[in-house]
């Protein structure tokens, strides 16, 4: 199906108990349809100032019938651009070629610097120890195409064995089966995801087939990523989907964790998301706060978590930060400056703050996501969160 888009301004939705000086950003996650049609779903993590003017993009078919929507914001410092078609398919990265990065170690935090430079050589972004932290991995080429099992295996050759859990987001591209093969070989765990709430039964079936009766390497299966924060679904709808997926998985023999993932801000405003989950799973990025220097990232997370904890029905419920990190390139956001040394400082700070419970943090992300599109709404940094500034070896 071919899609066209229309953009309409909406009044700002105030988020309860949001962080001070919060910003808007969007982490893109890819959804590839098996019938050959490719759709990119944008999921916005909102830390929006009251002066922002959010916009809703409505995708319609050739007859003008709405088929999906997404939300974007307009920076208060800039005039909104005229409405223009937005291609739903993944776009190739900008012409700028990102080379490998200089050696960077996250075992000790360097002094943060306010510079942005392109990497120049292969980095060392591992402490070399079995730390127990998790890591995000996305199985897409720079072109947006799916990666094969061989390409996924090639990528993992350069991913440190210190990470004991790998998080993925969807069921497309055979990613559950392909990443599970690597996870089993490493004897670690998989955090698999159901990205959207359409066709839940089919997506569960994909996971069940990948497991093939052996659930021993599955730690968690998530239902949605930032759906409430982005406005893609309300909390009751997500809670209902959690129950549906949990029931389907239980019937297939899975008795592990089932959660939804949303931002810390959205979860704090909608604690039912955590109450319905087996633990509270939240994405939280110090970089988008605007008041946090890289070296203070760990402290920022540890001070934000109690503000969520107090809203939960079970005050002792486990909270896992399922996305956090720092970009190595992008536009400065107040005190937050994107650079390789600052990324190293942020990761080191986070690892230090969670040294006693590393299973509570999943770092974002293994490699640069060159299949994504940079925009001013997330400080032109969307492609550049790869650990040590590296691109995936398989392309």
Query: Hey, which residues are catalytic here?
Result: 323
Taking the C-alpha atoms of residue 389 and residue 333, their distance in angstroms, rounded to an integer, is: 19
Please give the sequence-ordered ranges of beta strands (E in DSSP) within the chain, or none if there are none. Answer: 4-9, 24-32, 38-46, 55-60, 66-72, 134-136, 165-167, 189-194, 218-225, 257-263, 280-283, 319-325, 361-364
Helix axes 175-186, 200-211, angle to 10 degrees: 30
Q: Is the peptide bond before 365 cis (omega within 30 degrees of 0)?
A: yes
H-assigned helices in 212-335:
227-230, 235-251, 264-269, 272-275, 297-309
| CA-closest candidate to residue 68, choices 262, 235, 232 | 232
Q: How many CA atoms lie within 13 A of 14 on its CB side?
A: 4
Q: How far apart are CA 279 and CA 274, in angstroms?
A: 6
The length of the chain in residues reads: 395
Are the CB atoms for 331 and 378 separated by under 8 Å?
no
Q: How many CB atoms lie within 10 A of CB 243?
A: 12
Are 282 and 317 contacting, i.e. CB atoms less than 8 angstroms apart? no
Q: Give residue for tokens 């899975």.
A: 254
181 phi and psi angles, rounded to 5 deg: -60, -40
Tokens read off for 9:
């301004």
Cα–Cα distances (Å) from 279 to 23, 190, 259, 334, 360, in that order, read 26, 16, 7, 33, 10
Q: Which two tokens stand for residue 141?
A: 């080429």
Let me know if 136 is exposed, middle or buried by CB neighbors in 10 A (0-12, 13-18, 19+). buried
């Amino acid at each position: 199906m071919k899609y066209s888009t229309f953009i309409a301004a909406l009044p700002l939705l105030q988020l309860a108990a949001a962080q001070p000086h919060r910003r808007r950003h969007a982490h893109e996650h890819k959804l590839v349809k098996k019938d050959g049609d490719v759709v990119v779903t944008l999921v916005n993590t909102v830390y929006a100032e009251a002066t922002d003017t959010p916009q809703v993009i409505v995708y319609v078919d050739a007859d003008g019938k709405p088929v999906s929507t997404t939300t974007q914001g307009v920076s208060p410092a800039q005039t909104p651009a005229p409405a223009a078609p937005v291609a739903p398919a993944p776009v190739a990265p900008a012409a700028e070629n990102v080379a490998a990065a200089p050696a960077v170690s996250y075992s000790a935090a360097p002094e943060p610097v306010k510079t942005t430079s392109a990497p120049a050589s292969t980095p060392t972004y591992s402490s070399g120890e079995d730390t127990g932290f998790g890591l995000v991995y996305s199985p897409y080429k720079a072109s947006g195409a799916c990666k094969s099992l061989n390409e996924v295996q090639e990528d993992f050759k350069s991913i440190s064995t210190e990470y004991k859990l790998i998080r993925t987001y969807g069921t497309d591209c055979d990613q559950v089966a392909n990443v599970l093969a690597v996870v089993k070989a490493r004897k670690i765990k998989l955090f698999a995801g159901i990205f959207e709430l359409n066709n839940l039964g089919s997506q569960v079936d994909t996971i069940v087939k990948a497991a093939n009766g052996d659930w021993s390497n599955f730690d968690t299966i998530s239902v949605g990523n930032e759906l409430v924060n982005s406005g893609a679904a309300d909390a009751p709808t997500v809670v209902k989907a959690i129950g549906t997926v949990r029931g389907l998985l239980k019937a297939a023999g899975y008795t592990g964790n089932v959660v939804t993932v949303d931002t810390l801000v959205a979860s704090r405003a909608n604690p039912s998301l955590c109450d319905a989950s087996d633990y509270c799973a939240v994405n939280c990025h110090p970089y988008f706060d605007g008041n946090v220097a890289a070296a203070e990232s760990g402290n920022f997370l540890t001070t934000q978590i109690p503000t969520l904890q107090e809203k939960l029905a079970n005050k002792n419920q486990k909270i896992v930060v399922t996305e956090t990190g720092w970009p190595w390139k992008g536009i400065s956001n107040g005190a937050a400056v994107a650079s390789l040394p600052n990324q190293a400082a942020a990761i080191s700070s986070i690892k230090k703050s969670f040294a006693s419970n590393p299973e509570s943090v999943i770092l974002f992300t293994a490699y640069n996501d060159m299949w994504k599109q940079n925009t001013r709404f997330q400080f032109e940094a969307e492609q550049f969160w790869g650990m040590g500034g590296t691109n995936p070896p398989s392309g």
